[in-house]
A and B are shown apart, each in its own frame.
Chain A
Amino acid sequence: MATSKLSFDEARLALRKFRDHPTRNSEEVVELWQTVLQKNETRLGEEVWAIYEQVFVALLDCGDMNHSRELLEKLYQRFPSSQRVRKLNALYKEAAGHFEEALDIYDKLLEVDATNPVYRKRKIAVLLGQQKRVEAIEELIEYLKTFLNDKEAWLQLSSLYLAELDYAKAAHCMEEVILSQPYEADYLVRYADIKYTQGGLENIEIAKQYFIQASRLNPSSLRAAYGALLACEWLAQKQTGQKKKDYVAVGTWAAERIVEIYTEE
Chain B
Amino acid sequence: MSGGSWSTLVRSLCFIGLISLIHCAYSAAQHRSYLRLTEQEFTRLPADILLQTIVSLVLICYSAAHVAGDFLPIRADTQVRTKSWDTVGNCPSFYTFDHRAKSLSPYFAADLRPQ
Identify the A interface with B (CB < 8 A): 21-26, 57, 60-66, 69, 72-73, 76, 80, 86, 89, 92-98, 101, 118, 121-122, 124-125, 128-131, 152-153, 155-156, 159, 182-187, 190, 216, 218, 220-221
- Whether A61 touches B95, Cβ cut-off 8 Å, given contacts A69-B112, A76-B114, A93-B111, is yes
Chain B interface residue count, Cβ-Cβ cutoff 8 angstroms: 33
B91 at the A/B interface (Cβ < 8 Å)? Answer: yes
Main secondary structure, interface of B, reads loop
A-binding segment of B18-26, B39-47, B82-90: B82-90
The distance from the CB of B98 to the nearest CB of chain A, in whole angstroms, is 5
Flag if B95 contacts A65 (CB, 8 Å): no
CA distance A118 to B101 in the complex (A): 24
CA distance A20 to B39 in the complex (A): 74
The distance from the CB of B95 to the nearest CB of chain A, in whole angstroms, is 7
9 other A-B residue contacts (CB within 8 Å) besides A73-B112, A125-B95, A131-B98 = A22-B87, A25-B86, A61-B95, A62-B101, A98-B111, A118-B93, A124-B94, A128-B94, A184-B88
Question: Which chain A positions have C-beta within 8 A of B97?
Answer: 60-61, 94-95, 129
Selected A-B contacts with CB under 8 Å, 17 pairs = A23-B90, A60-B97, A61-B101, A63-B104, A63-B105, A65-B108, A66-B109, A69-B109, A125-B94, A129-B96, A155-B91, A156-B93, A184-B88, A186-B83, A186-B88, A190-B85, A220-B81
B3 at the A/B interface (Cβ < 8 Å)? Answer: no
Residue in A73, A86, A183 with the greatest tally of chain B CB atoms within 10 Å: A183
CA distance A122 to B96 in the complex (A): 9
The distance from the CB of A111 to the nearest CB of chain B, in whole angstroms, is 15
Identify the B interface with A (CB < 8 A): 73, 75-77, 81, 83-98, 101-105, 107-109, 111-112, 114-115
The 5 closest A-B CB pairs, nearest first, are: A95-B97, A63-B105, A63-B101, A63-B104, A129-B96
CA distance A154 to B107 in the complex (A): 36
Using a Cβ cutoff of 8 Å, how many contacts connect chains A and B?
104
The distance from the CB of A128 to the nearest CB of chain B, in whole angstroms, is 5
CA distance A184 to B81 in the complex (A): 10
Nearest CB in chain B to that of A95: its residue = B97
Question: Which chain A positions have C-beta within 8 A of B90?
Answer: 22-24
Flag if B86 contacts A121 (CB, 8 Å): no
The distance from the CB of A170 to the nearest CB of chain B, in whole angstroms, is 13
Flag if A96 contacts B114 (CB, 8 Å): no
Flag if A121 contacts B83 (CB, 8 Å): no
CA distance A97 to B99 in the complex (A): 11
**Residue in B84, B94, B114 whose beta carbon sits within 8 Å of that of A156 in the complex:** B94
Flag if A21 contacts B105 (CB, 8 Å): no
